A and B are shown apart, each in its own frame.
Chain A
Amino acid sequence: MFTSSRYEWISLLRDKWVVALVIIFFSITFFAVRNGHEKVQERTQSIEEVKTATAQAEKKYTNDIDSLSRGLKSAPEPWLDPRSLSVYGQRAGRVVAMDAEPLALIATGQSDLYTHTVKPKLYGEANALGFSELSNPVQLMFGTFDLAFVCIYLLPLLVLAFSYNLLSADKESGVLRLTVSQPVSMYQWLFNKLLVRFVVLALIIILSILISLLMFGVPVEVGVMKLLVLVLIYTLFWFAVAFLINLFGASSGNNAIALVSVWVVLVLLIPAFISQSANTLYPVPSRINMIHQYRVAEAESNKKASELLDGYLRDHPELASQDSTQKNQYSFWLKYFASVEVIQAAVKPVVSEYDAALEEQQHWVNQWRVLSPAVLMQNSLNELAGTSTGHYQNFRKQVLVFSEAWRSYFTPRMFKNERMQPEDIANLPQPGYSATQVTTHYTTDLIGLFVFVAVALGGSVLAYRRFVHTGLVIA
């Protein structure tokens, strides 16, 4: 057994395919990681710019409030005075930023669809907050050449090109007859062939990915290990499929066709089917209908704005100004808040339908993702990169929480007709984002991939009994 694998090693290493494979895989991995790195850099830079601009504005407002309250400066027009709560709350908004995870460069995921900085303000409804990123839709359609693409799409095809003739080439050249005349188990011999090829490719994959990641300054931590395990199991699955198909004993050409067909089904068709069925079964209600509902509610509330404020104060007696004789300087905005509350309440059922539909879609996809190793891979790679749908939904939730906190800081004080004081700035709500709340599915995805490997290997045992034992393969 050892002799046979030793010769396998020697013949494989002498093969120019291995050299070609090293060059091809390293260059595409490097290119992919570089692309991911470019994207992450752009993202980080944009976040930095926004943060700097926000910090500058904050500093300017702090200084202005300080000098105004000490009478060092003459007061500006009321709608520009930063001591006014409405001016400060609107113009000195804080930014919630979704910083890139260390492994963000491995998978673009959904990061090209969404913005990573949102600046909630005092006015403007939560639904009006923009979460879209500006990009050329052609690029969104074509997708990024990132490490996830290399692993999910290209790697199986490389495995396939590397092993479609594992058995058939020996059969076609007559070596097989020679081999079976030796006192070795056929299955063992074939398995060795598979294993040797897998080990060679695994080494190439590990080194290519590690070197590329290190070159772009990604520290080798748990995440990288998780990534490598995932990629190796996925590769092993494709070897197992190649092994299984080889055992059927068809010609090299037919093996290649069969393998490509498996690839088309698992990587192209099943994901499209699952996604299509999710959209069909749980369609997100029409967005343009939501606009309509929203506008109807808006028009309604505008018509009776002053009644709304009374109603609002009845609901929130704690907000009613202590001194009712004094005209509130924010009365215009208070009416506005009252109407926003009514509009929000009116559209809430519609808005929650969207979240519900998307959650149901995600649930459906999570359930059926076990049908394709490619989907399992995509899911876990996006989660490792922090660019999954879940991450962006979570970011959105955290932004809304902060938006609410920001507004809740100002509204009660506006009802009391107060002004910003220098000491208030330290008490303002601080934005924050943390990715730790997102539930990830790494373990289940890995188990799923193992099941795929087991199924393919189990199939190969059956195929071996059926075809090789009966001599069909050799004949």
Chain B
Amino acid sequence: MILKIALKELKELFREGRFRIAAVIVFALLITSFLVSKRYYDYVNEQHEAARKNARNEWTGQGEKNPHSAAHYGTYAFKPKYPLALIDNGVDKYSGVSIFLEAHKRSDAQYMAAQDQTALSRFGDLTPDFVLVFLIPLLIILLGFNAMSRERESGTLRLLLSQGVKPITLVAGKWLGLFLPIVLLVLPVFVLAAFLLAGVSNFGQFSMAAFTILFVVYLLYYAVFTNLTLLVSALVKKSSLAFVALLSVWIISCLAMPKVTSAIAEELYPYPTQSEFETQIAADKKNGLDGHDPWNAASKKLEAETLAKYGVDNVSQLPFNWDGYLMQQGEEHDAEIYFKHYNLLKETYENQTRVYRTTAALSPFLPTRFLSMAICRTDYAAHWNFADAAERYRIMLVGKMNGDMVDNSKTGDWDYLANEKLWESVPDFEYQPPAYAAVFAANQSNFATLLVWLLVSFAALYVAVSKIKVI
């Protein structure tokens, strides 16, 4: 019986111009956005590969230099783009792509794409995620808002129920009749994407499992909207009112809630401004050890301690290059200050994330958005992971440069030069993104919220339908 109803619904839907037009438009948008993203992705990847090679060549080919000058010259870490970014570009537009790695200073990622675009790009981009998270729920509402109220208005509900059809059977049929077309619409795009993505193997292997989970997440999201649509359609007697109610649901969960939540998160856990952040770091640095200033109080203390330890009375009698040693100590001290302040920043970001997760209870859009970005490795957590890896590499690189100076040159010998042997001994920056297990573990609450949305909306639909009376 359920299948019969579903089949009837499907037939009716396919005959109707409304669905055909909407389906064609959404499908065309999905394909276009996918191809546009693919083009952009290929372009970015090409640039990235070239940039990596250039950065490495510049580093190894910098010629004879004092190791500390080399540390100042530094190198760059470039954020890779993974294949699934094609589906969901996440926050990539708003986070920089490259980090300069130099002595004494932790830099933020530079060059966010949004700054190289006009204000119009703030409306959103024509990417698959735009269609998947914004438009398809709206399509579900457009197709199903009168699924139940139509039967009531035309009197067929009375007829159906008098024939002995249980309301729940009727709704189950309607549910399939609404959900299946959406699956049919999205599935080809995902299959096409899977084929194209499997072919992309420049870097960052494509994980079929992650891709499937992404697909399932979207299906769960659509199931929630299907439930909500039928629920409202069953509760509200007039089709047009049902539509207005559902439209409000869509506006609140997809447009308003993300912004409202951002306002709450920023209010509760404000981010420092760039200048505040820099001032705090500078204040901490000023009170500490200055590797370039041997007259600094903290440096003097370290000098006295080191001299006492080695039982000599002058730094030139030390068995190693004191200048290099002092600079490395200063470097480690600075790195700790950066670590402290970036951790404070990270704490703020994690607190903000908690706010987003809590309010996800009010909007199925939020858990879906965050899960989608996390699986596509384009969320903020992925950016932090990359930035932290780059910082670890920077500390290693500078440490190696100072270490070479400490071991192989004498105190005061600033003319000491190292060559490509030292440069090449520094391994290339190879970034490994966190394993999917870790990504999923970090997103447990988003999975849970989405599932709760699904179960609660199913339950509400069940209760509402079993109370249907024909009056």
Q: Which residue of B lies closest to A140 (CB)?
A: B94
Q: Mark A267-297, 1 if CB is under 8 A from B, else 0.
A: 0110111111011100110111101100110
**Is B415 engaged at the interface, CB distance under 8 Å to the other chain?**
no
**Is B146 engaged at the interface, CB distance under 8 Å to the other chain?**
yes
Q: Is the CB of A46 within 8 A of B276?
A: yes
Q: Is the CB of A278 within 8 A of B120?
A: yes
**Measured CA separation A49–B73 after assembly (Å):** 33
Q: Is the CB of B271 within 8 A of A378?
A: no
**Is B76 engaged at the interface, CB distance under 8 Å to the other chain?**
yes
Residues of B within 8 A of A389 (CB): 118-119
Q: Is the CB of B47 within 8 A of A289?
A: yes
Segment among A129-137, A180-188, A333-341 that sits at the interface with chain B:
A129-137
Q: Mark B339-353, 1 if CB is under 8 A from A, else 0.
A: 000000100010011
A141-B93, A275-B117 known; A77 vs B295 contact (CB < 8 Å): yes
Q: Is the CB of B352 within 8 A of A145?
A: no
Residues of A within 8 A of B134 (CB): 268
A113-B114, A288-B78, A358-B116 known; A272 vs B142 contact (CB < 8 Å): no
Q: Which residue of A lies closest to B89 (CB)?
A: A141
Q: Mark B82-107, 1 if CB is under 8 A from A, else 0.
A: 00000000110111111000000000
**Is B263 engaged at the interface, CB distance under 8 Å to the other chain?**
yes
User: Which residues of B31-72 have CB atoms within 8 Å of chain A's CB atoms?
Assistant: 36, 39, 43, 47-48, 50-51, 54-55, 58, 62-63
Nearest chain B CB to A304 CB, angstrom units = 12
Q: Is the CB of A136 within 8 A of B119?
A: no
Q: Is the CB of B58 within 8 A of A295?
A: yes
Q: Is the CB of B266 within 8 A of A139?
A: yes
Q: Is the CB of A137 within 8 A of B95?
A: yes
**Measured CA separation A251–B149 after assembly (Å):** 14
**Is B432 engaged at the interface, CB distance under 8 Å to the other chain?**
no
**Is B110 engaged at the interface, CB distance under 8 Å to the other chain?**
yes
Contact of B108 among A42, A134, A136 (CB under 8 A): A134
Q: Is the CB of A136 within 8 A of B120?
A: no
**Is B256 engaged at the interface, CB distance under 8 Å to the other chain?**
yes
Q: Is the CB of A271 within 8 A of B123?
A: yes
Residues of A within 8 A of B51 (CB): 286, 288-289, 291-292
A137-B91, A138-B380 known; A165 vs B121 contact (CB < 8 Å): no
**Measured CA separation A378–B238 after assembly (Å):** 35
**Measured CA separation A135–B270 after assembly (Å):** 9
**Measured CA separation A284–B117 after assembly (Å):** 8
Contact of B243 among A46, A257, A274, A299 (CB under 8 A): A257
**Is B275 engaged at the interface, CB distance under 8 Å to the other chain?**
yes
Q: Which residue of B lies closest to A252 (CB)?
A: B240
Q: Is the CB of A136 within 8 A of B380?
A: yes
Q: Is the CB of B47 within 8 A of A253?
A: no
Q: Which residue of A lies closest to B243 (CB)?
A: A256
Residues of A within 8 A of B243 (CB): 253, 256-257
Known: A35-B263, A154-B251, A358-B117. 11 other contacts (CB 8 A): A50-B275, A137-B91, A145-B256, A260-B247, A268-B134, A271-B120, A275-B126, A287-B111, A288-B47, A354-B116, A374-B123
22 sample A-B contacts, Cβ–Cβ < 8 Å, listed by A number: A110-B122, A114-B115, A132-B115, A134-B271, A134-B277, A134-B345, A142-B259, A164-B244, A252-B239, A253-B146, A253-B243, A257-B243, A260-B142, A272-B123, A273-B126, A275-B121, A276-B125, A276-B126, A278-B118, A299-B62, A358-B118, A382-B119
B residues with CB within 8 A of A: 18, 29, 36, 39, 43, 47-48, 50-51, 54-55, 58, 62-63, 73, 76, 78, 90-91, 93-98, 108, 110-112, 114-126, 130, 134-135, 138, 142, 145-146, 238-240, 243-244, 247-248, 251, 255-256, 258-263, 265-267, 270-277, 279, 295, 345, 349, 352-353, 356, 379-380, 383
A residues with CB within 8 A of B: 31, 35, 38, 42-43, 46, 49-50, 53, 77, 109-110, 113-115, 117, 130-145, 149, 153-154, 157, 161, 164-165, 168-169, 251-253, 255-257, 260-261, 264, 268-269, 271-276, 278-280, 283-284, 286-289, 291-292, 295-296, 299, 303, 354, 357-358, 361-362, 365, 369, 374-375, 378-379, 382, 388-389
3 residue pairs, one from A and one from B, having the closest CB atoms = A137-B94, A252-B240, A271-B123
